[in-house]
Amino acid sequence: MSYDFDLFVIGAGSGGVRAARFAAGYGARVAVAESRYLGGTCVNVGCVPKKLLVYGAHFADDFEQASGFGWSLGEANFDWTTLIANKNREIERLNGIYRNLLTSSGVSLFEGHARIVDAHTVEVNGQRHSAERILIATGGWPQIPDIPGREHAISSNEAFFLKQLPKRVLVVGGGYIAVEFASIFHGLGAQTSLLYRGDLFLRGFDGAVREHLREELSKKGLDLQFNADIASIERKADGSLAATLKDGRVLEADCVFYATGRRPMLDNLGLENVEVKLDKRGYIEVDDLFQTSTPSILALGDVIGRVQLTPVALAEGMAVARRLFKPEEYRPLDYSMIPTAVFSLPNIGTVGLSEEQAIEAGHKVKIFESRFRPMKLTLTENPERTLMKLVVDADSDRVLGCHMVGPEAGEIVQGLAIALKAGATKQIFDETIGVHPSAAEEFVTLRTPVSR
């Protein structure tokens, strides 16, 4: 049977664009449909603008520390509208880059909502297109709980376009988005409270990392409220918000920001027209080859709910393109040893197993840990301390996990991720000469395991 396209991709986010570009480069006839953002969540309302706002928030610390190095500064003033306008300009530039990446690769771009008609047909803007294979890469969407007054709350989608910086912010959630935005709002000068319904945020991260970040954020004056959750939100006559907690307390704020999870973006996608199964969480079920229960339809990225990180979606997109159109270069995707960062202030960088995960997996572990004041802060009044931790298998000497809380943690851990992926042992770390003076050298000078 003859089709209009060999591959029709729904969603021009990181994974979809990567799959489309490389499939076209391998000679396939490819189309992409996108109804919202070229570049997807990451470029438009995710990683990229978030990191720009984190940079902006960090200047407060830089200005405060400058006097210790002899700098005399006048009163610092922050203008939210300038930051947002400059951010918007950069995102528009990136949108153009994504457009050019697709069109210069020979991909047909359709700007509109795509809906699956059948196993080989997609409809966009009233026009139908046939394809041998359809790839769903529509990503995720933030969720706000169904509580009275939920219409008064915002998510990360709206936070990037606020007209002004709120004076008082309640951030609700315990994942990396909540922690990052709490740091952003607090660093930019808003009175910020972080509410989480559990005992401690960042579930799944190493316990020492979670505790250390709690201590550092508290020292900075960020209000952390654990075992706390909002029951309802009410708009007051003066425009402010009153959030009633489940324990009966009432907190007043100018903005309530929810970061309590994301759902797969499957709205009006036409899945009812095909045999595509969802798992119990609502994500699309796929096999190891990213195929759904309908053989001609594939899915990847946040919509399948595996590891919801941009670089993982990129790797999945590459894997799909290679398997379908360049099989001699195809390699199954390995989800182990995926590094990640939380751009809180201070940052978190981590790769491999936490201490808790290693023990649960049956490893006999040795733990090497160091907490110290970064050299840059020794001439300042800033009491912030850095945490570095290695989780080592006691029998094989292999380093199972590497964790850091401190400045540039993501940059440092990226290099160490290569070592862990290659199977480095603690002996190799010990035999590696450090870069001096640097914080990173601490990872190769840890000698004495801590006792538990």
pLDDT tens, residue by residue, 95-105: 999 999 999 99
Q: In angstroms, rounded to a whole number, what is the distance separating the alpha carbons of residues 115 and 440?
A: 49
At 335 the pLDDT is 96
The residues with which 334 forms a beta bridge, in sequence order, are none
- Residue 451 — very low, low, confident or very high, per pLDDT cuts 50/70/90? confident
317-354 pLDDT tens trace: 999 999 999 999 999 999 999 999 999 999 999 999 99
The CATH number of domain 143-261, selected from 3.50.50.60, 3.40.50.300, 3.40.640.10, 3.40.190.10 = 3.50.50.60
At 341 the pLDDT is 98
Structure pTM? 0.96
Is the CB of residue 62 less than 8 Å from the CB of residue 380? Answer: no
- The response to whether 177 counts as a known ligand-binding position is yes
- The response to whether 178 counts as a known ligand-binding position is yes
- The response to whether 176 counts as a known ligand-binding position is yes
What are phi and psi for residue 172, nearest 5 degrees? -115, 120
Instruction: Check the CA dihedral 38-43-44-46 and report its sign.
Output: positive
For residue 451, give every residue at least 6 positions away whose Cβ sits within 8 Å of its Cβ, in sequence order, or none: none
Percentage of the chain surpassing pLDDT 90?
98
- Residue 74 — very low, low, confident or very high, per pLDDT cuts 50/70/90? confident
At 302 the pLDDT is 97
- Residue 65 — very low, low, confident or very high, per pLDDT cuts 50/70/90? very high
Is the CB of residue 323 less than 8 Å from the CB of residue 330? Answer: yes
Is the CB of residue 199 less than 8 Å from the CB of residue 226? Answer: yes
Q: In angstroms, rounded to a whole number, what is the distance separating the alpha carbons of residues 159 and 45?
A: 9
At 176 the pLDDT is 96
User: Which token pair is 440?
Assistant: 């990173």
At 206 the pLDDT is 98
Q: In angstroms, rounded to a whole number, what is the distance separating the alpha carbons of residues 187 and 345?
A: 8
Q: Is the pLDDT of residue 1 over 80?
A: no
Q: Is the pLDDT of residue 185 over 90?
A: yes
Give CATH for domain 339-444: 3.30.390.30
- The response to whether 349 counts as a known ligand-binding position is no
In SS3 terms, the chain reads as: CCCCEEEEEECCCHHHHHHHHHHHHCCCCEEEEECCCCCHHHHHHCHHHHHHHHHHHHHHHHHHHHHHHCCCCCCCCCCHHHHHHHHHHHHHHHHHHHHHHHHHCCCEEEECCEEEEECCEEEECCEEEEEEEEEECCCEEECCCCCCCHHHCECHHHHCCCCCCCCEEEEECCCHHHHHHHHHHHHCCCEEEEEECCCCCCCCCCHHHHHHHHHHHHHCCCEEEECCCEEEEEECCCCCEEEEECCCCEEEECEEEECCCEEECCCCCCHHHCCCCECCCCCECCCCCCECCCCCEEECHHHHCCCCCHHHHHHHHHHHHHHHHCHHHCCCCCCCCCCEEECCCCCEEEEECCHHHHHHCCCCEEEEEEEECCHHHCCCCCCCCEEEEEEEECCCCEEEEEEEECCCHHHHHHHHHHHHHCCCEHHHHHHCCCCCCCCHHHHHCCCCCCCC
Q: In angstroms, rounded to a whole number, what is the distance separating the alpha carbons of residues 33 and 60?
A: 41
Angstrom distances, CA of residue 277 to CA of 213, 219, 271, 285, 358: 39, 47, 9, 6, 33
Q: How far is CA 256 from the centre of its chain?
A: 20
- Residue 9 — very low, low, confident or very high, per pLDDT cuts 50/70/90? very high
Residue of 338, 341, 397, 387 lying closest to 365 (CA atoms): 397
- Catalytic residue set: 436
Segment 165-184 shows an average pLDDT of 98
User: Which token pair is 102?
Assistant: 């697709």
Angle at 439 between CA 437 and CA 444, to 5 degrees: 90
Sheet holding 230-235, edge to edge: 230-235, 241-245, 250-253
Give CATH for domain 5-139+265-329: 3.50.50.60
Indicate if 143-261 has the same CATH topology as 5-139+265-329: yes
Is the CB of residue 299 less than 8 Å from the CB of residue 265? Answer: no
Segment 140-166 shows an average pLDDT of 97
Segment 9-14 shows an average pLDDT of 97
368-412 pLDDT tens trace: 999 999 999 999 999 999 999 999 999 999 999 999 999 999 999
- The response to whether 313 counts as a known ligand-binding position is no
33-51 pLDDT tens trace: 999 989 999 999 999 999 9
At 99 the pLDDT is 95
- The response to whether 180 counts as a known ligand-binding position is yes
Segment 153-163 shows an average pLDDT of 98
Angstrom distances, CA of residue 87 to CA of 49, 93, 248, 277, 300: 6, 10, 39, 39, 28
At 169 the pLDDT is 98
- The response to whether 441 counts as a known ligand-binding position is no
Q: Where along the chain do its domains lie? A: 5-139+265-329, 143-261, 339-444
Bridge pairing between strands 127-136 and 121-124: antiparallel
Give the residue carrying structure tokens 């996608």.
Answer: 269
Q: What is the mean pLDDT of the chain?
A: 97
- Residue 238 — very low, low, confident or very high, per pLDDT cuts 50/70/90? very high
At 452 the pLDDT is 72
